Structure 1
Amino acid sequence: MKRAISILLSLTLTAALLAGCGSDKTTEDTADTTGDTTTEEAAPQLSGSVSTDGSTSMEEVIGVLGEQFQADTGVSVTYNPTGSGSGIEAVKNGSCDIGLSSRALKDEEKAAGLTETIVALDGIAVIVNAENTVTDLSLEQIAEIYTGAVTDWSDLDGTAGAIAVIGRESGSGTRDGFESITGTEDKCVLAQELSSTGAVIEAVRTTPGAIGYASLSAVEGQEGITVLTVGGVAPSEATVLDGSYAIQRPFVFATRADEPLSEAAQAFYDFATSTAANDLIAAAGAVPVAQ
Structure 2
Amino acid sequence: MKLKRLVPVGIACVGLLMLTACGGKNKENSVTAVGSTAMQPLIQKAGSDYQAKHPETNITVQGGGSGTGLSQAETGAVNIGDSDIFAEQKEGIHADKMVDHQVAVVGITPVVNDENGVSNLTSKQLFEIFTGKIKNWKEVGGKDLPIIVINRAQGSGTRATFEKFVLQGKEAVKSQEQDSNGTVKKIVQNTPGTISYLSLPYLNKQIKSVSVDGIKATPANIETNKWKIWSYEHMYTSKNPSAKTKAFVNYLLSEKTQEELVKTAGYVSVHDMKVKTDAKGIVTPK
1:199-246 CA-partner distances (Å, limit 9, x unpaired): 111111122111010110111x241x2111111111122221121112
Query: The residue matched to 1:290 in structure 2 has which SS?
Result: helix
* Structure 1 contact 274–290 (Cα < 8 Å) conserved: no
Distance, in Å, in 1 between the alignment partners of 2:174 and 2:201 is 23
Distance, in Å, in 2 between the alignment partners of 1:233 and 1:73 is 42
- Number of positions where the alignment pairs a residue of Structure 1 with one of Structure 2: 242
Question: Which of 227, 232, 248 is the aligned partner of 1:268?
Answer: 248
Name 2:218's counterpart in structure 1.
236
Query: The residue matched to 2:68 in structure 1 has which SS?
Result: helix
Matches within 5 A, 1:7-26: none
| Residues 1:177 and 2:158 aligned together | no
Name 1:218's counterpart in structure 2.
202
Opposite residue 268 of structure 2, the aligned amino acid is V
The 1:199/1:111 distance shift into structure 2, 3 A limit, reads closer
Structure 2's unaligned 5+ residue stretches are 1-26, 273-286
| Residues 1:50 and 2:34 aligned together | no
Distance, in Å, in 2 between the alignment partners of 1:275 and 1:61 is 15
Percent identity between the two aligned chains: 32
Name 2:284's counterpart in structure 1.
none
Name 2:139's counterpart in structure 1.
155
Distance, in Å, in 2 between the alignment partners of 1:102 and 1:142 is 22
Q: TM-score, normalised by structure 2?
A: 0.80
Name 2:232's counterpart in structure 1.
250
Distance, in Å, in 2 between the alignment partners of 1:68 and 1:202 is 27
Q: TM-score, normalised by structure 1?
A: 0.79
* Structure 2 contact 84–234 (Cα < 8 Å) conserved: yes
* Structure 2 contact 87–95 (Cα < 8 Å) conserved: no
* Structure 1 contact 102–252 (Cα < 8 Å) conserved: yes
Question: Which of 107, 116, 135 is the aligned partner of 1:132?
Answer: 116
Distance, in Å, in 1 between the alignment partners of 2:85 and 2:109 is 15
* Structure 1 contact 64–281 (Cα < 8 Å) conserved: no
Distance, in Å, in 1 between the alignment partners of 2:83 and 2:169 is 18
Distance, in Å, in 1 between the alignment partners of 2:34 and 2:173 is 29
Distance, in Å, in 2 between the alignment partners of 1:246 and 1:204 is 23
* Structure 2 contact 106–268 (Cα < 8 Å) conserved: yes
Runs of 4+ in structure 1 over 3 Å off: 107-112
Distance, in Å, in 2 between the alignment partners of 1:47 and 1:222 is 42
Name 1:189's counterpart in structure 2.
173
Larger radius of gyration: 1
Distance, in Å, in 1 between the alignment partners of 2:101 and 2:29 is 23
Name 2:74's counterpart in structure 1.
92
Cα distance, 1:154 vs structure 2: 1.4
Name 1:61's counterpart in structure 2.
42
* Structure 1 contact 146–190 (Cα < 8 Å) conserved: no
Query: The residue matched to 2:186 in structure 1 has which SS?
Result: helix
Structure 1's unaligned 5+ residue stretches are 1-45
- CA RMSD in angstroms comes to 1.8
* Structure 1 contact 65–272 (Cα < 8 Å) conserved: yes
Distance, in Å, in 2 between the alignment partners of 1:205 and 1:229 is 17
The 1:190/1:201 distance shift into structure 2, 3 A limit, reads farther
* Structure 1 contact 51–79 (Cα < 8 Å) conserved: yes
Distance, in Å, in 1 between the alignment partners of 2:226 and 2:95 is 32
* Structure 1 contact 166–190 (Cα < 8 Å) conserved: no
